[in-house]
Structure 1
């Protein structure tokens, strides 16, 4: 009898979550993990710009885009597998892997810069912390609580960037980059230890690998199969296209914007840190207080549309602005656009059953990973094509060597605005309420899939059918 139960569990049929386990796992655990990981990386904002210039003195935008592009493409390839495995092995073990490998490149910034950038590229295989975190949150929250919880997690990302770049810039100026890297490494180790020793499993009765065979199929882990199956449901297709078009410019912007502020707009390291802090604080307000108000008053779909509208305005302003004050003004709009991600995440998570949240998160994270590959490379290429490049760091007391200007100071941002506008047009056709039949074609959701079918029982409830996003932020 026990063997039969084990076999059924390995097949992905049984997933029992006790109320006691749900009481132990808290959204607070997810918040702390996200905060520590991105606080460590935020400290490296100023040293990263220096190392990038020293390692690639020619074509910094282009090389930065290629490095981030490889990382993003690897995330796209691995996200469905990691998402599916988190439904089988549980969230904690996969969270430990993603946090460890995402933070692994940090100490190599001072040890060997070339190895550092190589490790950043390879770390894309596990750079999907948000997909596991969102599945973790979905495990321990009810549907009506989810938008608030997702907003809190996304706001934590912004909160981690409020002070860390400024602290990193201060330490770098007064004590050198080596100390900054050391502090970031220590915080990363603390984060890994927190996951290992403190974070409880949100799926206490999770299915495990046994001698009965591998519990998921390679088809479920194939990102290209995921993309093909997206078209089987119109609503899923609309969500995925919206995610792709809206996150493509965000990923490109995130990879190059601070370098753009320093090299083109002439921001000092202190000004960059202050800019990040301002946008971070406003993003926290937008993703906590304002998000819940918008969700209650104008609904889930209209909140997504509003966030996309702010994103379009922000990108146009970045693209046409050439003065520092314009960047500061556009930054306030960028903070408002941060409501898009948790709003989409809430919309999508409602369509996934309790035992498929990791698979669902993995699919959309895979699409975002694809954007993380295409966006930075595309932005770097557009900067290169328009001769927006600096080969010399600004001399003391003066402006850096001027670049060949064009009528549009930031061409990639205008491209991004067009992509976000396209996302807005697609999102108009999204339904306000996601029916329960998104996976099965009927309002009835089966209590359990057929034995041996794996975490996703039917073709309509595949990892390729739905999934929320992460955000990561446009910083």
Structure 2
């Protein structure tokens, strides 16, 4: 099977490798899954009626943790066998669970969680961009990837809901499967290889595949350590929130599928807008203040989700959440100002590793917190009114708000302003030198 995939990956693509190729892949992949946003909520409630939030968190959490563990290995293998082969494999496994939704609900969720082992196309996509984009254009290209991800959610959930209303869930799954098949076909025949054979790695070491290597290196520099702790403090609840909010609004707050898909689309548009204007915001108030602004917005929206009982409060929380998506790009912008050009790769790699860890732990943690706080749904508690009377505070969101508050205090107290950080670039250069020496020993 692997030899067949290698042979297929040798097919030359269309034109020279470019960022545009990978943007199409990212858009089609998340558009297919965006179509299933509303059907998945209905299927979750049908399959796990007594533990909906718990199972949603566990499915998303297991997938995220497996992706975190396997991403370095996939990236290292792409250095050896080329980007196109690993991109083809990861796109296939990312899309593999979709058709199972019409066959067996339990196995759909089981395969969805396990697909995280090989369904990590984003790591290969970032490597592809690094191959084809000049250094001065990489930040912009990564921003375009994030905007493309958000753009796929502008119409996909609403379109999936419309198709479900008119023709049923099976038709939505069919359309999503066709989009996924189109994506696999595009990778196979249109995406050219970006990594020439002459610059590929010749071997694989355990250190390259160890997902904790980058994180463990954090302890060697206190400034990087603070940045990574801050990233962990706001991304953990953010990942948990994103995995649970659609089901929470539908099953607990009484949103219908039309309202929910409209809110998701509006949030995506706001997110695109705020990220496109990030450069202007950073120039106006500074990178550190942009991080503080993003954390304050995230704190506000988590608090609204925690204590709100009316739909307008949920709409406000969703809009604030979209604006709060500025935080992670603002951290990346701060790092670009805080470090010299040669050190950024090492530090950004550590922050990305922390992000992957949160994407696994966050959903699982929120699912468990929903379960422990007795907020999972059961047939005798399905009445929206009874749920509102029983609930005073949604514990998972309040936990997240406290977590973000700690991160906000850390930024305010320990993260220096840009003007104070310039003198610390030498410390990052020393960290980079240490990492390079370790890698050189490893290659030897």
The TM-score with structure 2 as length reference comes to: 0.85
Distance verdict in 2 for CA 1:440–1:320, change over 3 Å: same
* Map 1:380-399 → 2, pairs under 5 A: 380-392=367-379
The offset of 1:449, in angstroms, is 6.4
Equivalent-residue separation in structure 1 for 2:128 and 2:63 (angstroms): 24
- Where do residues 149-164 of structure 1 align in structure 2 (5 Å cutoff)? 149-164=141-156
* 1:99-118 deviation line (CA, Å, top 9, x unaligned): 22111111111112111111
2:210 maps to which residue? 222
Match of 1:328?
315
Residues 218 and 350, structure 2, Cα contact 8 Å, conserved in 1: no
Query: What residue in structure 2 maps to residue 30 of structure 1?
Result: 22
Residue 376 (structure 1) shift: 1.5
Change (3 A) 1:413 1:228: same
- Structure 1: stretches of 5+ with no match in the other structure: 1-20, 462-475
Q: 1:277 aligns with which of 255, 265, 268?
A: 265
Q: 2:430 aligns with which of 441, 446, 451?
A: 441
| Contact in 1 for aligned 2:343/2:429 (Cα 8 Å) | no
Q: Which residue number corresponds to residue 14 of structure 1?
A: none
Q: Call closer, same or farther: CA 1:364–1:318 in 2, change over 3 Å.
A: same
Instruction: Pick one of 35, 41, 64 that aligns with 2:33.
Output: 41
| Alignment partners' CA distance in 1, 2:177 and 2:160 | 12
Say whether residues 1:457 and 2:440 are aligned partners.
Answer: yes
Q: Which has the higher helix share?
A: 2
Q: Per the alignment, in what secondary structure is the counterpart of residue 98 of structure 2?
A: coil
Q: Do structure 1's residue 410 and structure 2's residue 394 form an aligned pair?
A: yes
For 2:431 and 2:263, how far apart are their aligned partners in 1?
49
CA deviation after TM superposition for structure 1 residue 355, in Å = 12
- Distance in 2 between the 1:244 and 1:89 partners? 32
Contact residue 387 and residue 403 of structure 1 kept, 8 A: no
Match of 2:66 among 57, 74, 82: 74
Alignment CA distance shift 1:94-1:223 (3 Å) = same
- Kindly report the root-mean-square deviation, in angstroms, between the aligned alpha carbons of the 2 structures: 3.3
CA distance, structure 2, for counterparts of residue 181 and residue 337 of structure 1 = 32
**How do 1:290-305 residues align onto structure 2 when only pairs under 5 Å count?**
290-305=277-292
Please give the per-residue CA displacement for 1:150-195, whole angstroms capped at 9, x wherever unaligned: 3222121111111111110111111011110011011111112222
TM-score normalized with structure 1 length: 0.80
Q: Between Structure 1 and Structure 2, how many residues are aligned? A: 424
Preserved CA contact (<8 Å) 1:37 1:103? yes
Distance 2:426 2:193 in 1: 29
For residues 257 and 201 of structure 2, the distance between their equivalents in structure 1, rounded to whole angstroms, comes to: 49
1:182 aligned to which of 174, 196, 213: 174
Distance in structure 2 (CA, Å) of the matches to 1:85 and 1:360: 22
User: 1:423: how far off?
Assistant: 2.2
Following TM superposition, by how much is the alpha carbon of 1:41 offset from its aligned partner in structure 2, in angstroms? Answer: 0.5
1:374 to partner: Cα distance: 2.0
Q: Determine if contact 1:287/1:339 at 8 Å carries over to the other structure.
A: yes
**1:423 match:** 407
Deviation at 1:248, TM superposition (A): 0.6
CA contact (8 A) 1:319 1:409 kept: yes
Cα pair distance change 1:102/1:442, threshold 3 Å: closer
Shift of 1:196: 2.4
Aligned mates of 1:94, 1:362 — CA distance in 2: 20
Q: 1:232 to 1:406 in 2, by over 3 A?
A: farther
Pick the aligned partner of 2:242 from 240, 251, 254. 254
Offset, 1:201:
3.4
Q: What's the secondary structure of 1:305's corresponding residue?
A: helix
1:133 to 125, 140, 143: 125
- Matched residues in 2 for 1:299 and 1:423: separation? 18
CA–CA distance in structure 2, aligned partners of residues 195 and 35 of structure 1: 12
* SS across alignment from 1:402: helix
